[in-house]
Every structure is written in structure tokens, then in C-alpha cells.
Structure 1
Amino acid sequence: MGSLAEELQRLEAEARERVEQLREKIAELTGQLSVTEERVMRRLDITGSRWSVPGAEAVLTLWAVISNGDLPEYWAFHIERERERLYPHTDQHNYELTA
């Protein structure tokens, strides 16, 4: 019986330790979110600036991509999409001139 009680105490101690680690992580993330919110609000509230929703979303997306370290991959994706938008037909070389 003693070993079962000891095992239960050990598991409870581990659970308390994990809960404390989660609390610390939540506090850390909440603090980071507050700093990010403050930076965003300062950027969007510059005197005389007018932001459309798409423009603000674009800036926020770039901030997120840069802070996550994904800028090279995102930029390659962006360039490819822009190329597809500007030059939608990849088989243009197959067309014959009629003039």
C-alpha cells in the first residue's frame, strides 16, 4: 500500500509542477501579446495616417511572417502569386499571331 500512496504523491507533485510551468508560459505569452498589441496600435495610430482593412492586414501579416522567421519562404510564395496574377497564361507561347 505504501508504494501506491508514494506513486500517487509523486504524480500529484508532477502535475503541480506542470501546472506551474503552464501558468508561467501563459503569463509570458500574454506579456508578449500585450507588447505586440501596443506596437500594432502605435503603428496604426500615427497622426494623419489612414488605414484600410486590407492595408492593415498586410502590415500585420508581414510583421507576423518576419517575426516567425518565414520571410524567405513567404516572399517566394508572394512573388510566384504575383507572377501568376500578372501573367495568367503559361501557354502564351503556343498562340499564333493573327495580324
Structure 2
Amino acid sequence: MTMMEWWDGFWATYNTVIFSVGVNAMLALSIYVTLSCGLLSLANAAFMGIGAYVASLITMQTGLPFPVALAAGGILPALVALVIGIPTLRLSGVYLAMA
């Protein structure tokens, strides 16, 4: 078995796991950044979910290419975060975690 045959078999088997680990690592890093500032905000996961939903909806319903869906999946959660974030700027502690 050559290296390319091995790599093709490995990639076909584990590509979903590798992508899931990467996405969850990015989410954990985003939560760690706010925790290192002494704040607990679980809204990062909600914004990631909004972006994933928007990107998949645009791809499946309209058939637009992936780069367009990727851009929309980043822009819409940013707008939602802006709308939610402006009123919560003065919150801290438990109130920030609930917001």
C-alpha cells in the first residue's frame, strides 16, 4: 500500500472527525479569550450556531457557492452580536453570563 492509498483511506474515514475537532477547538478558544479577561459569556456558541445555520440555509436553499455562504455566515452573526452586544456592554458577572 502506497502512502497516497493510505492517506485516501484515512481521509475518507476521519475527515468528519478532524473537521469537528477543529470547529470545537475554535469555539473553545473563543470562550477562553473571554474567560481570560475574567468574563463568562456563552453567547459565542449561539453566534457560532447562527452562522452555521445561515451558511447551511444559503447553500441548501439558494445553491450559492460556498464562499458566499461563508461570508454570509460570518456577517449575519456579527450583526446579531452587534445588536445584542451594545446593550450588554455594561453587564458583568452573572448578568453577563445570562445575557
TM range (shorter): 0.3 to 0.5
Q: Tell which has more relative contact order, 1 or 2 (C-alpha 8 A, sep 6+).
A: 2
Larger radius of gyration: 1
- Using structure 2 for the length normalisation, give the TM-score: 0.37
